Structure 1
C-alpha cells in the first residue's frame, strides 16, 4: 500500500516538475537584483512552491517576467510573459509593431498608439480634431504662453494674442502690436517684446533695464529716457540728485524723502535729531525715536512729557513725574492744588500739632472715665454699709 502511494506521488510530481521548471528558469537578460528575493514581484509578494523559493504570487513589476520575475524584457516592453522579445504591452510613445517588440515609435505627440499614423491617446497639451489621428493640434499654440488653454502672452519675437501670436515681431521693436522701438542704447538693439527690457544689457555708460540714462545710477526705467528706480543714494527721474546724508539707502524718486533714517534721526529728510529727553533704549543700536515723526519709542525721562518728550512737567509735581500724554502730576503736587496739573490729589497727611491735640484729648477722656468709674463703685459700697447697720 505504501509503495502504491509513493508511485502515485512520483507520477503526479514528475509532470508538475516538468511543467513548472521552465517557468522558474528564464533565458536572456536577467536582473541580478531580483534573483534571491521578492523585489521584482508585484507588491513584493512571493512564497515557496514545489521546493522553489521566491515564486511571485501576484505577477511581476514592469519589464520583468518569469515565475520569480528576475528575467528582463528587451527594448521598450512593459510586459513580455512568454518571450523576452515578444511584448504584450509597450511603454508610452511606442507600439508593438510588426515584430511585437515595442521598437516602433508613435507619432511625436502621442501617449499611446496602434500604429505610426493612429494615436489612441495624446500627450498633455495636444489633441485631435477634423479627423486627425496623430495629435497634431496643441492646446496652447506654438508661439503662446498659455494660462490653461488661453493664449495669455506671446513668446519673445511674436505678437497678436487674438490670433495665436502668429505675427513675428521685427528686431528692434516691442509692445502688444510691436509698434514701440527698443532703446537705441540697448546692446544689439534688441529687447523683450512684452516689456522692452534690453536683452543683452546697455552700451557703455548707460544704465537701467531699458538703458534709459547716461549714468550708472538707474535700476529700472519708466521709459527709454526716464528712470523710475534709482540705485541707493540717488533720486529724480535722471538719478542725478543725491539722497539726504542721514537716509539709510533709498529715498523717494520725486521728493527725495527718506524711507528710513539713521539711528536717532527723524523727519522726511532725516534732518531732525531725537529729543534728548527720550528715554535711552537698552540697546545702543536701537533708535530712541520713530524715524517718521520723532515719537519717543521708550517714553520720556523724568520731568518731561509729550509724544516727543519736548515739554517740561510742572515744578510742583512730586518726584518730578507727570503723565506723558497730559502732563498731570502722577504723585500729586507739593503745594498749591489750583494748578491744572495737580488734578490728581493725594490724601492730605495730618500735621504734628493736630496729632498732639488728638493724643491729649484721648488721655483726658480716659482719665474722666476712670474717675467716674471710681465714684460709682465708692457710692455703691457706701450704700451697702448703711444697709447692714
Structure 2
C-alpha cells in the first residue's frame, strides 16, 4: 500500500513537473525547530522572514529598497515595502527610514541612537543655535550661544541692551546706559527724567527741572516730583493735578490742592474753591470754610447753606434759619415745632395750640377733652377745676360776642353746662 502511495506521488510530480524545493535560509524558524520552514513545493516561507528580508520566499532584501531599513514587510499590493525598524541614527516616517536631523546632538560612544526611532525626537538635545522637537528651529540671533531646547527662550542675551524671553526686546530708553537684565529691569537704574521698575515713564512735565541735567527730576520708584511743581499751578505727588480755576492767581498747595491765596469769587467755597454756593443763598455768596450763606436764605428755606425747605404748614412758609422751626406759627389745622402735626378733626374750626395741639376754640358738639377726642365719656384730662373751663368759656364768649357767632356761643354754653354738672357730681361724693 505504501509503495502504491509513493508511486502515486512520484507520478504526480512527473505529471506536474514539480521537484523538491530547498527552503530559503532567510525563512523564519517556527516555534518547533523540527517543523518545516517553507512549503517544499512552492518554497513559500511558512513562518515569515528573518529581519532584513521580505517576499513570499524571503529572498529579497529590505535594504535593496531602503538602505537604512532593518525590518520590513511587503505591501498588500505587492508594490514595494513598508519598513518597521530602521538602523541606528534613523527614524521611521510613513513606512520609510529617514536620517536623524543634522542638528541633533551626537553623543560619542553612546549606544543610544541620536534620535528616537519612532518619531525622530533628538535624544541628546540640539547643537548650538538650534531648538525644537527635531532641532529644526533656529534660536534668536540675539541669544548668547544657546536657547531652551523646547521653547527657544534664550538662556542669556548676547547684548546688554536687549531683553525678554527670546532677547528680541530692547531695553527702555529710560534705562541708564540703556542696559537691562533679561527681565527688562534696568541694571543701572533710571535716567534722571524717567521712573518705574523698567524705567518706562517720563517724569511729569510740570515737575520743576534742575539746572543740572544729571540731578533727578522725580523719584525713580513712584515718580514724585522732587523739587515741587512749576508755577504753583499744579499739585499732587507727580504734579499731575491742576489747581482749581477758582483759586486766586490759579495757585494751590502741592500736597493738598487747597487754594493757597483763597478763592477768586465769593460765589464758591471749600479749600479748593470747587463748590458753588447754594442757589438759595440771597446774594449768591457764602463763607469759604463751610458754604454758610453770607446773607439770609430765600423765603421757604433754611440751614447753613439754605439747602432745606421749610414745612409747607409754616405760616407764610417762613421758618427759623438754624432750626427750621415755624417762628410765625402754623397754618390753621396744624401744630408742632415744624407744624408737622395735624389738629384733631373734632377741634372747633380745626384750630389748636401750636405747642401741644390742644383745641384752642373748644370742641364740636358731642366731644370733650383737651384735644376733643372724648365723646360721651369723661377722661382724666377733662376733670380740671371749673375755673379753667370758665376762663376758656368767658374768653371765647367775648370773641363770640364780637363776631356775633351764635353757633360758637351754643357750643361753649354746652361745654360750660357739662363742666358744672361734672363738678356737682364730684362734690356729691357719689
Q: Which is richer in strand? A: 1
TM-score by length of 1: 0.32
In terms of Rg, which structure is larger?
A: 2
